[in-house]
Structure 1
C-alpha cells in the first residue's frame, strides 16, 4: 500500500513537471505548403493548461523565399534579409488563423503565413519551434517536421501540385546529390554530416524552396533567467539574461519582442486591454494581448552585447521593455519572461517567473531614492491586502487563488505599476 501511494505521489510530481512541456504538431505533416492549402497547427501537451499558437513572420512576401533565416545556421539561398523591424510576433486569432481547443487552423494559407510557429502556455512555457513555408512555386519538398533522430532513415519527396510523382533532382546546399525517376530520395543512417539545406527540382514544374534537415538533440531546452530577477526594473540599470542549459552542443541566443503598436480597442473594465482582462498584457491567459504586434530582434544586432551564455544590456531604458526568450539552432525555445523598464519613483520587485503551489512569495516595494521612513501599501487586483512600515510583504503557501495583478504604493512617492503573479498547479492522476 505504501509503495502504491509513493508511486502515485511520484507520478503526480512528474506530471506537474511535464506540464511545462508541449510539442507543436503540423497537419499535413510537412513544413512546405502550396498557396491556398489548409494547415492545422496543434499543441500536444501533458496537462489541461491552456496552450496557444504563436508565430513570427516577415512583412515581406515569401513567394520566392523558403523561410525566415532565424536559426543562426548558414543562410539559405534564396533567403530573406532580415532586420529587427522585419519580424513580427502575433498570436493565433489576432489577424490570422482560427483558434481551436487544441491549437490553430489556417484555412487558406498564403506566402505571408511563412514563419516560425510554436505553442506557449499561460505560464509562458514553450514548445519546439517549426519553420513553415508557404510558396507560390509549383513544387514543394516533403520532409520531416522535427529534427531527425541519429541513424534513422529519412525519405524526401518532391511533390508538384499538377500531377503525380515525376523524376526529380535533389540538392543539398545547391549541389546535386541525387536524381530519382520516382520523385523521392532516402538518406540512410542519418548523421551530423547529413545536416543541411535540401531542395528538389522537377524538370517540368520547377524548383522547391529549400528546407533544413537537422539532427535531433535529446537534451532539455534552456531556461531563461534574468538578473535582477524582477519583472520591473529601474531605468539605467544593467540587465543580464542567461540561457541555462545542460547541453554543450547547442548554440543559444537571446531574442526579444518589443511592442510596435497600441491596442486597437480602448481600455475599459471589460476591454481586452484592461489590467484584469484575460487578454491584458500581463494576463494569465497570454503573454500579451492578441491585438498587439511586436517587432523582434536578436541580442547583438541593434541592442545588447552577447555573452557566452546569453546577453547583457548596459544602462537599460524604457525602450528595452519587452518579452525575452532563448532560441537554439535546433528549433528549441526557452520559457518567455516579460521585463518592464520604468522611469518612475517606485517599482514592485519580483514576480518574473511563475511559482509553484505552496511556495512563499516575497514582494518588495522599492523606491528609486530610498526615503528615511517607509509606509507601504500592497494591492491585489486594486484591493488592499496589506500595509505597514515595511517595504516587503510575504505571501505564504500560495495557491492559484493568489494569482492576480499586484502593485504597491510608498507614501509620498506614488504607486508602482502592476505585475502578474502566476501559480502553477499540480495534475492529480488519482
Structure 2
C-alpha cells in the first residue's frame, strides 16, 4: 500500500502540473504496444497523434521521480525516431507519466506507464469505447497467460468463499461504471501493478456541412439506409426530383474534411454517370453526401457510414415525415435482425426489443440513434431526420 500511496501522490502532483496548461482532447499520446504495463527489458514507442496522423509541432513529454520533466533524447527518456519516441530495454521498475505538448503549452491527457519484473496486466493504454467488449489477461515475462485473481479498485472481481483463479477477465458492453483501477494476482508470480481503465463515449456521427438550401432535388440512397457493413452490396447515390434522376446535378461528399465530386477520385468512388454514383463496399465511403448543381444550388444531405464492426442500425436515409411511423432495427453481421437496446442521444429508449417503432413521428423524435447488444457491442450513431409534410421546398428555379 505504501508504494500505491506514493503513486497517488505522484499522480496528484502531475495533475497540478498539467492543469497549468490547456488540455487538448483531439491530440493524444499513442502507446505501442497498446498497454499500460511492461516488463523490464521490453521496448515501446510513443507517438503524438491527431486523428490518427502524427501531430505536427507536438512532442512526447515525461514526468518521473516526482519532479523530473524530460524531453525525448535527453537523459533516460528514449530516442527520437521520426515522429515517435522509442523506449528500449526498460531497465528499472518504475512508474512514469507521459503526455503530448506543443510549443504553446497545450497538452493532451497523460498516460501512466508502469514497469514490472514478475507479472503484468495487459490493460489498454487507449480509452475503451462504451459498448465495446474487453478481455484482460495476467501475463508472465515470456508472454504466456497465467491464471490469476482479478481486482478492481482493490476488490476481488469474482468473490466467494473459495474463489478460483481465472485465465481472463471479460467485460462485455463496457460502461462508464467499469472505469477504475485494475490489477491481477498470480499465485506463483505475484501481483501486477494497478492501472486505470479509461472509458469514453463512442465518436459521434460526422459533423455535416452547414444547413443546405432545401430544394425539390434530393439525394437518394439505395438501399435507403444510413449504415452498411463492409463486404456488403454496392450502394448507389443519386440526385432525383419527383422520383426521376435529374441532369446537371452532381453527387458530392465530404469525408475527413475533404470535399470531392462523384468520380473526382478513382480511390473514392467506384463509378459514376453525372448524377448517379455507385459506392464499392471495399472502399471507405463513410461521409456526408448531397447533390449540387453547377450554379451552386444544394439538396438536403445524408450521412452514410460503412463499418467493419458487428452491428448496424437500420435507419432510413431520407427524412421521415411528421405523423408517419418509422421502425428501427438492429442488424448483426451474421444473424440478421437481433434483439437489442436502442438509444436516442445516448439515452436508452428501447430495452432488449426486436425492433423499435416510433408512431406518429414528431420533430422531437429527431436525434442520434444507435443500438447495442451484450454480445457484440454498439452500432454507429446515425441521425433520424424529421420533416413537416406541409413544408413545401422552393423549386430549383426560384431558389436561385
Range into which the TM-score falls when normalised by the shorter chain: 0.3 to 0.5
TM-score, normalised by the number of residues in structure 2: 0.41
**Which structure carries more strand by proportion?**
2
Bigger radius of gyration:
2
Which has the bigger relative contact order, CA under 8 A and spacing at least 6?
A: 1
